[in-house]
Structure 1
Amino acid sequence: MAKSEGRPDRILVVDDDVRIRQMVTRYFEEEGFLVHGASDGASMRRTLADHPIDLILLDLVLPNSEDGLALAREVRATSDVPIVMLTGRDDVLDRIIGIEIGADDYIPKPFHLREVLARVRSILRRRRPVEPVREDLSQVLAFDGWRLELSRRRLMNPDEQEVELTTGEFDMLTVMVRNSGRVLTREMLMDQTRGRQLEAFDRAIDAQIARLRKKIELDPAHPTLIRSVRGVGYIFTGNATAPMASSTS
């Protein structure tokens, strides 16, 4: 969901703990954000239907038999709005599943509000397109008829149709295309796409690659663009070429 011109970023905090909602809301409002709160999936859906939301802070454990992972999967089925998971469960499997379904970040409780703010701003900054008057070809990566526009943060397929990518998917593909023909370990991919030291659990990278393959490969089960290198990592084998000017302005 793109931010409307002239208004602050709008955040939805989904957490059944009213104290956390109030604390996060107060802090982010003081930083200039518009903040909505929701205690469960039903109120989250109402807010998403009524307001343009730029980012969701989503608790993992919620009432009424709905958890954050299920809600994140539901949101991701229809929208690429960034999702940051906030949870008291420090479970590696939950983190992997969260990344697999398209969460952009995962912050365990207890957390420091300044860190949450920094991560939110980083995600929003990376997603916000900069529309140049003329297309800067140095900010375009091309491969096999595809075009990755870095300034606009969008991917165009060979039929000139935009393919929606999450923040993590876009960053992952950018790193892969820029390093075409080079074997990249999972640790290298984690470092270059996250920009900070995290637990380097291999399955998180594997899940991200699997999601990306579904969007750019003709046959995700037999990929030709992003190939696995057993025991090492991945290699992008697409034909990276000098970009041509697009027909769009």
Structure 2
Amino acid sequence: MHSPHKYLLLIDDSPWDEQLAEYFAKFGYKIIQLHHLSELSKEVEQPAALLINWSIFQADSSTVDSLYHRYHVPIIIISDESDEDTCVRMLEAGADDFLIKPLHPRELHARISAITRRVQRSNQDTEQEKEVLIFADWRLYPASRQVFNRANQELQLSAGEYDLLLAFIRQPQRVLGREFLLQITKNSDLNPFDRRIDVQISRLRQKIEPDIKKPALIKTIRNGGYLFTARVLTIKESETGERLDH
């Protein structure tokens, strides 16, 4: 979303805290509220972030996945009460974060900014600096944050899943601790035993592992963290002149 039309899109059927609107107005953001998912079709431009009350989904977490593919922005689920099962289901479906009301303006702003930075970090790469990271049956393009299989089909990853995968690929055959992975996903404020990192790794495994029942690419190291076992080959995309098809 480009200035001066920056806005946060809130989908919630309950009244919104005016303090949040006043806070984000200082940074040039408007908060636009919709009361139902059906109203999304009226929004043409991409928001800076999508905030949704989980009750709107009526327990249908598949809607989060469809929103993830439609809106390439931070998707944050908000709830009136703490519920671990709901949190896990929303994160597994593709949400980037899960927050409990009341929302604190500065914290919400920081979380949106952190998720956005992850998405934009590689966009500064020039065409000449682009590289292709090849592992197992996959090819990863850091500059465009894309991953393809041998059939040239793109793998759909959330921002957190992509950052985890890139961290593993950059440091193969090395045990990465939970605290390090929490920092990679900008969740360093969480307890190292928080389940969010396990949820994201589980989702990543489901998408890249040949056999999810016997993970071979990402190994769990007891009391240590996680180990990426694949060999990684780095090739400059500019050297190939085109994207590899196999």
Does TM-score exceed 0.5, indicating one fold?
yes
The sequence identity of aligned pairs, in percent, is 31
Q: Identify which of 179, 182, 185 aligns with 1:187.
A: 179
The CA deviation at 1:23 is 4.4
Correspondent of 1:53 among 24, 46, 50: 46
Between the two proteins, the alignment pairs up a number of residues equal to: 235
The alignment yields a C-alpha RMSD, in angstroms, of 2.9
In the alignment, the residues of structure 1 paired with residue 229 and residue 168 of structure 2 have an alpha-carbon distance, to the nearest angstrom, of 9
Q: Answer yes or no: is 1:154 the counterpart of 2:146.
A: yes
Q: Determine whether 1:227 maps to 2:219.
A: yes
What does residue 107 of structure 1 align with?
A: 99
For normalisation by structure 2, the TM-score amounts to 0.79
Q: Do the aligned residues in 1 keep the contact of 2:68 with 2:95 (CA within 8 Å)?
A: no
Structure 1 residues 114 and 104: alpha-carbon distance in aligned structure 2, compared to 1, 3 A threshold? same
Matched, 1:16 2:9: no
Q: Distance in 1 between matches of 2:228 and 2:219?
A: 6
Q: In structure 1, what is the equivalent of residue 123 of structure 2?
A: 130
**Equivalent residues in 2 for 1:69-218, closer than 5 Å:** 70=59, 72-77=61-66, 79-80=68-69, 81=71, 82-128=74-120, 130=123, 132-137=125-130, 140-218=132-210
The answer as to whether partners of 1:175 and 1:193 remain within 8 angstroms in 2 is no
In the aligned structure 2, how far is the partner of 1:99 from the partner of 1:90? 14
Structure 1 unpaired stretches of 5+: none
Residues of 1 paired with 2:145 and 2:4: CA distance? 21
How many angstroms does 1:130 deviate by? 1.7
The one-letter code matched in structure 2 to 1:73 is S
Deviates more, 1:125-134 or 1:147-156: 125-134
**CA contact under 8 A between 1:104 and 1:167: conserved in structure 2?**
yes
What letter corresponds to residue 46 of structure 1 in structure 2? E
1:144, 1:239 within 8 Å by CA — same for their partners in 2?
yes
Using the TM superposition, give the Cα deviation of residue 61 of structure 1 relative to its aligned residue in structure 2, in angstroms: 3.9
Give deviations 1:102-128, integer Å, cap 9, x for gaps: 221122222321221121122223223
For 2:25 and 2:40, how far apart are their aligned partners in 1?
17
For residue 37 of structure 2, what is the amino acid of its counterpart?
M
How far did 1:140 drift? 4.7
Distance 1:25 1:38 in 2: 15
TM-score (norm 1): 0.78
